[in-house]
Amino acid sequence: MEPKSPAQSSSAACSRLHMHRAGRSRPLACPARSGARYTGILRVPVDKPAASIYDSDSDVPIDDPEVLREKQKAVDATEKRSARILGYEPDTDYWGVVNDVVYMFVLTLTRKQNRPELDLWGGKTYRLAVDTAAASFWFYELEFKKLEGVSHRNGETAFKKATWPAVGPHTERKVLPAGDSLAIKEEAWNYYGDNGIVHVRRWEGAHDLQFHAPTWDWTTNDVAETFSCLSFPRVLADCANDITASQVSDGNFGLAVPGWRDPWRNVTSEHRVTFYDILRNGQEDVETPMQVTIRLLFPDDDLEAFADENVQNFLYYGPGCPCGMLFNGIVLLPEYSPPLYIFPSPETPTEFHFWSLQFLSMTLLQPVSGVAILNHETEDPAQWVSKRIDMPTIAASSDAPSLPGIRTLFDSCSACTVLPEDVIDDIWTSWFEQPQLRETWPHFTMESRIWHNDATKFAKHDIVFEFRDYRGTTFNLRCSAQDFLTSPWSAEGQDTRYAQFVSANPTDSQFILGMNFFWAALLKMNATHRGSRPVPGRAHPYVQLAPQRIIHDGQRVGTAWDLGLHKYLSPRQLAEVRDQPEIYADP
């Protein structure tokens, strides 16, 4: 019999990891077209290719079937593991109403383990929330307890462990058994922006957990039939508060800057407390263990139903761009920014923690009425009405130099973008064309989400994000505005849509571009260092940003749902065959 979780289930979940102060504002309603298909954790193609791909698919890069087969046999082991498909699942607020989706790294415990307490656990699947603003990973421990009354005084943490009720959303969490208590190497606390808290413990290497993880097969354009094998240190949460335990994931999967290993102390890459370290020190190599591209799709049932099977949410550990769109015999790629060098931690200037830039402004470009063909490479006032919102100047810390704009981190696990209240007010009045927030919404709080009254209001609009990096370079990222400004979830009233924004606390000095930013843009994260951790002045971690669309000669010829993982060959091979080195090139 399969081991059981602490209790059997009923379901309601709370707000997401990192979503700041996510309380209830206005009642949510889930419309018929509410977004992601919820039938499974991984999106798997339903229809198989026709008998001959040459009769059915113009993406086939080589005319001779024999030559293509020989090329496919030459895909090497690191390339086979370079793309990892992400699952997704709806999450709900504390009152059990769907208000976002969580993107998951999916792992299956292998049948063969090194520890007897794991003998009955093989085959169980675990879904960890993909979190670009957390450093490490963890799973829930069997019979994990409820945290209550957590407080801090004189450097000590006081808390109470309680027994969970027999029913509740916590019962749906997948768990793992603890190892020998004498083999515990360290204990620590994780604190999240939504007031979620977990207490975690890690074991020595003899207690490792062996997992299979799904990868993408470039040659069959499908999830691979064989899985990558990964050895994770046993890191388990033995207690959590109800905010965290109510969320839909079975733990957390951090992708913050490699070398930051919070909450652990006195550890190096050999301890493998981050996924980057697992890739660097594991038996199965990837092409670029210190560089990863993340792509998250806006959840939409209808668009997904018509999309090609290679249009996926993914992590890609490799050079160049793993996705594109075939157009007139050429693979068009998303246009990446140059490297934008991130800032060291304001609190610990000798370390890099978050993927963060200085956010200067954002400009909504509204099409001029009557213009039939818009040029998306110009801001010509004859075609576009420009509505610019400048960020206020807020120092990232009391000791940090004052720079224009706000320090902003990229957080894939934040259900909302978190900005100063004045900026939220400007979005509401200037872009959503509503009266002043405080005049029309006297009970507006930091937890309140704004909305607009047309599900397709921004379908033809563009948005320009202006960033400044650590070296002073500025860059304008131009994307489609619809997915950033419109969620799949209804507010009150027909055709209304929430926008995924909340106000920051007035005392906050760092801000967040959350899940809705990832719907609009791809993010490539490169640590650049090859030692145990990056050191400011010697290492130069950077990000690159690209819109989730294709612009060709000023025209929008492809949306996010046209950007599929490359077909039939790996990116390296496709770059050679198509004579397009940019497919497999980094700056």
**Measured distance CA(543)–CA(348) in Å, rounded:** 20
Residues contacting 532, CB < 8 A, separation 6+: 259, 268, 269
The pLDDT of residue 53: 56
Per-residue pLDDT tens for 359-402?
Answer: 999 999 999 999 999 999 999 999 999 999 999 999 999 888 88
Query: What are the φ and ψ backbone dihedral angles of 242, each rounded to 5 degrees?
Result: -70, -25
* For residues 77-86, average pLDDT: 94
**CA distance linking residue 117 with residue 126, whole number of Å:** 17
Give the pLDDT score at 526: 96
Indicate whether 177 pLDDT > 60.
yes
Residue 117 has pLDDT above 70, yes or no: yes
The rounded percent of the chain whose pLDDT value lies above 90 is 72
pLDDT score at 441: 74
Q: Using a cut of 0.85, tell me whether the model's pTM lies above it.
A: yes
Tens-place pLDDT, residues 534-578: 878 888 999 999 999 999 999 999 999 999 999 999 999 999 999
Contact 331, 322 (CB under 8 A): no
> Tell me: the pLDDT tens digits for 511-527?
999 999 999 999 999 99
Q: Is pLDDT above 80 for 470?
A: yes
Peptide bond into 581 cis (omega under 30): no
The model's confidence at residue 32, banded by pLDDT at 50, 70 and 90, is: very low
Q: Which residue has better confidence, 388 or 160?
A: 388
CATH class of 333-549: mainly beta
Whether the CB-CB separation of 546 and 337 falls below 8 Å is answered with yes
Of 9-23, 41-55, 186-200, the range with the lowest mean pLDDT is: 9-23
Q: In the predicted model, is pLDDT for residue 51 greater than 60?
A: no
What average pLDDT does the segment 154-177 reach? Answer: 92
Instruction: Single out the residue of 238, 258, 226, 212 nearest to residue 105, CA to CA.
Output: 212
